[in-house]
Amino acid sequence: MIYKSYYLVLSFLSLLLLLPIIGIISKIEFEISYLFEFFGSKYNTRIIYISFLQAFLSAFFSCFIAVPFSFSLYRNKHLKIVKFVISLCGYSFVIPSILIVHSVIGIYGTNGFLNNIINFYDLFNINSLFGLKAILIAHILLNAPFATRLFFQNLNSIPKNYIEIGNSLNLNFWSFIFKIEWPILKQNLLSIFSIIFILCFLSFATVMALGGGPRTSNIEVAIYQAALFELNFNKAIILSFIQILICFTLLFLGFYKLKGKNYFEVQTDYFEHPFRDNIFIRSFDYLVISIFSIILFSPILYILFNFIEIIFLENFFSKNYFLKAFINSFILSLITAILVTIFGFIISLLLVNTKKNPILQQILFLISAMILIVSPIIISLGYFIILGELRYLSWVIYIVIITINCVFLIPFSILILFTKLKNIFLNFEDIKKVFRINEKNFIKIIYPLIKKNIFYLFSFSAAISFGDFTVISFFKNESFQTLPILLYKLIISYRFNEASFVAGFILFFSLLIYFIFDNFFYKDIPDNTK
């Protein structure tokens, strides 16, 4: 009976994913000659080129910064301030990209913070702000902290006996790095690079807001423009298939290779680093941590300072359009978080219970991973087509947005829950034999063991869906908008005081959610030197 419910849920989720595919297929009307016409266009080939270029450069520089940053954090992980920085690095994955857009304009724009202090026009001026440089700056600020968290997790998985062997051999600083630490780090270097590449390749809000026009549009923006403004579904469909094909080639290097590993959880098996107390290394680490923290977390600092300054100037909370946008964002995030938690738990249980059928388990992992390469913009396109005129009804918008966000968050729910459930099930059969536990009482046993993961998943899903911009951009109308959409409208209409307030409120609310679940989920890092 329980397995029937598993497969019922899985079938339902498959249907939700198939519907947009059916919608896209229904619009395929072009002949082979159209493909030659499409690839013969310099504009179309440039879109593909720019998508590759910005994603590669963004991933490269993000990892280039993240590697030394993670080393410095790892050597000083006993410090409370470092624990806070590590936690903040994880938040970068949750922060809405539209907030980064707002801060990049505010810091690096013509009238931005830096240009008001230093003559920085060789790199950041009115001509170069909007374009490839602006996109790269935003992507690095958004993804370098997340890459740092992933690399830190890799370093944190170094077995204690490796450290002891390094000490017994009296390795110097550089020998210790290249013989002990670097081999562990480089195991997943390509995988982490691939994940960051895919995230940047599928970037929508950043490219649309900072691209500065068609010359720097990527595939995501081109799909959006082709469907909504040009009504050229043939072009949108071809671009969608190209995007899926490219991301699929990176699938096994990224999410699929990391299946069963929780890269959101920070390990708690800590011990003293052998070079922690070296005065020169410690000074260098403090310098690296200080500089990178100021640069990478400058968007958060900028938005919070502006929010504190603006909030006292006017009672923005009384504005009707703000309250409506907040209510919509809150309801969408709450319902999405509940559904993702339920479905993620059930699917993770199903994956664990297929251990005797490894082929089925591999297929389920593959399906979950493939959701990541089918971007929300493509799924939104499918629902946009299949719904027709119904897409403009408010209750339909609610359902569609919740559905797409749920589908998109399912792979992350597996990352968060699967490993924990697998470890529980390894011991469950023996426990069941001893205590004669039936399936009905199983939930009572595992809930105390997995409740922190459940709470983490719920809050993680709520934070991401609260800041969603991509999906809602397809279905927004004048009577229905969320806080990220409102922020975008305020930015492009140059209403910066109101934009600063909305950005600050989104940041404050999502930070509150994030740090509640991050501190609840992760145990404090013990200092074993005491």
- Compute the average pLDDT of residues 308-335: 82
pLDDT reading at 96 higher than 70: yes
Dist CA 269 CA 526 (whole Å): 8
Dist CA 375 CA 244 (whole Å): 8
340 touches 413 (CB < 8 A): yes
- Compute the average pLDDT of residues 382-404: 79
The residue among 135, 111, 145, 141 whose CA lies nearest residue 205 is: 135
Q: If pLDDT is split at 50, 70 and 90, which confidence band does 264 have?
A: low
Written as six digits, the tokens of 237 are 């469909």
Query: What contacts 138, CB < 8 A, 6 or more positions away?
Result: 97, 100, 101, 104, 206, 210
Q: Is 358 exposed, middle or buried (0-12, 13-18, 19+ CB in 10 A)?
A: exposed
Torsion of CA 329, 335, 338, 344, to 10 degrees: -90
Which residue type, as a one-letter code, is found at position 285?
D
Q: If pLDDT is split at 50, 70 and 90, which confidence band does 126 have?
A: very low
Q: Say which DSSP state 179 is in.
A: I
7 touches 347 (CB < 8 A): no
Written as six digits, the tokens of 428 are 């469950």
Dist CA 270 CA 289 (whole Å): 20
Q: For 2-521, CATH number?
A: 1.10.3720.10
pLDDT reading at 69 higher than 60: yes
Q: For 487-510, give the DSSP string.
A: HHHHHHTT-HHHHHHHHHHHHHHH
The model's pLDDT over 235-250, given as tens digits with 9 standing for 90+, comes to 888 888 888 888 777 7
Dist CA 140 CA 206 (whole Å): 11
327 vs 318, which has greater pLDDT?
Answer: 327
333 vs 372, which has greater pLDDT?
Answer: 333
- The rounded radius of gyration (Å) of the Cα atoms in the chain is 24
Q: Report the Cα–Cα distance between both ends of the chain, in Å, rounded.
A: 52
As a whole number, the mean pLDDT across the chain is 77
Least confident of 45-49, 160-164, 364-368: 364-368
136 vs 433, which has greater pLDDT?
Answer: 136
Q: What count of residues does the chain have? A: 530
Written as six digits, the tokens of 143 are 């993804």
Q: Is 471 exposed, middle or buried (0-12, 13-18, 19+ CB in 10 A)?
A: buried
Dist CA 248 CA 430 (whole Å): 40
Per-residue confidence (pLDDT) for residue 358, from 0 to 100: 63
- Compute the average pLDDT of residues 495-509: 85
Three-state SS at 480: strand
pLDDT reading at 523 higher than 80: no
Largest CA distance in the chain: 74
Per-residue confidence (pLDDT) for residue 265, from 0 to 100: 55
Per-residue confidence (pLDDT) for residue 57, from 0 to 100: 94
Dist CA 248 CA 431 (whole Å): 41
The model's pLDDT over 287-302, given as tens digits with 9 standing for 90+, comes to 999 999 998 888 888 8
Residue ranges of the domains in the chain? 2-521
Using CA atoms, how far residue 165 sits from 160, 179, 506, in Å, is 9, 11, 48
Global pTM reads 0.80
Query: What contacts 284, CB < 8 A, 6 or more positions away?
Result: 72
Q: Phi-psi region for residue 212, left (φ > 0), alpha (ψ -120 to 50) or beta? A: left
pLDDT reading at 14 higher than 50: yes
